[in-house]
Structure 1
Amino acid sequence: MVLLTTKFVQRASLFVSFGGLVTTIITTFLPLWKTMNSDLNEMENWYEGLWHMCIYTEEVGIHCKAFESFLALPLDTLASRVLMCISIATGFLGVAAAFFGLQGVEIGTGRERMKRTLLILGGVFIVVSGITTLAPVSLMAYIMVVKFWDENLPDVMPRWEYGEAMFSAWFAGLLLVVGGAFLFVAVCMGDHEAKLQSKILSRNQEQRSRTRHYRKTEII
Structure 2
Amino acid sequence: MNSDLNEMENWFSGLWHTCLYTEEVGIQCKAYDSVLGLPMDLQISRWLVTVSIGTGGLGLLVVLPGLEGVEMCVEQPHLKRRFIILAGLLTWVSGLTSLAPVSLVAYTTLVDFFDEGWPEVMPRWEYGEAMFSGWFGGLGQLIGGTLLFIAVCMYDFDQRPPSVPNSPQVKHRTKHYQKTEVL
Category of TM-score, reference length = shorter chain: 0.7 to 0.9
Q: How many Å separate the matches in 2 of 1:108 and 1:50?
A: 41
Structure-2 residue corresponding to 1:164: 129
- Equivalents in 1 of 2:30, 2:54: separation in Å? 26
In structure 1, runs of 5+ residues without a counterpart are 1-35, 199-220
Q: In terms of Rg, which structure is larger? A: 1
**Pairwise CA distance, 1:194:** 3.4
> What are the within-5 Å matches in structure 2 for residues 28-39 of structure 1?
36-39=1-4
Write the letter of the residue equivalent to 1:112: P
1:194 equivalent among 126, 133, 157 = 157
Aligned partner of residue 39 in structure 1, secondary structure: coil
1:78 aligns with 2:47: no
Deviation string, structure 1 residues 151-183 (Cα, Å, up to 9, x no partner): 111111111111110100001000000000110
After superposition, residues 48-127 of structure 1 pair within 5 angstroms as 48-127=13-92
Cα RMSD for the two superposed structures: 1.3
Q: Give CA deviations for 1:41-86 in whole Å, capped at 9, x if unaligned.
A: 0000000111110101111111000011111111111111110000
* Structure 2: distance between partners of 1:64 and 1:95: 32
Helix, strand or coil for the counterpart of 1:152?
Answer: coil
Alignment match of 1:174 (pick from 139, 142, 150): 139
Q: Within 2, Cα distance between the matches of 1:133 and 1:144?
A: 17
* Paired residue total: 160
Instruction: Give, as a single letter, the amino acid of the residue that structure 1 aligns with 2:154.
Output: M
TM-score computed with the length of structure 2 as normaliser:
0.84
* CA distance in 1: counterparts of 2:27 and 2:121, whole angstroms: 24
Q: Which residue of 1 aligns with 2:150?
A: 185
**Which of residues 117, 129, 137 in structure 1 aligns to 2:102?**
137
Distance 2:76 2:61 in 1: 17
Corresponding residue number in structure 2 for 1:45: 10
Aligned to 1:21: none
SS in 2 for 1:63: strand
Asked whether the 8 Å contact 2:63–2:84 carries over to 1, the reply is yes
- AA at the equivalent of 2:94: S
Unpaired runs of 5+ residues, structure 2, are 161-183
2:102–2:131 CA contact under 8 A, matched in 1: yes
Q: Does the CA-based 8 Å contact 2:56-2:94 persist in structure 1?
A: yes
C-alpha displacement of 1:111:
1.3
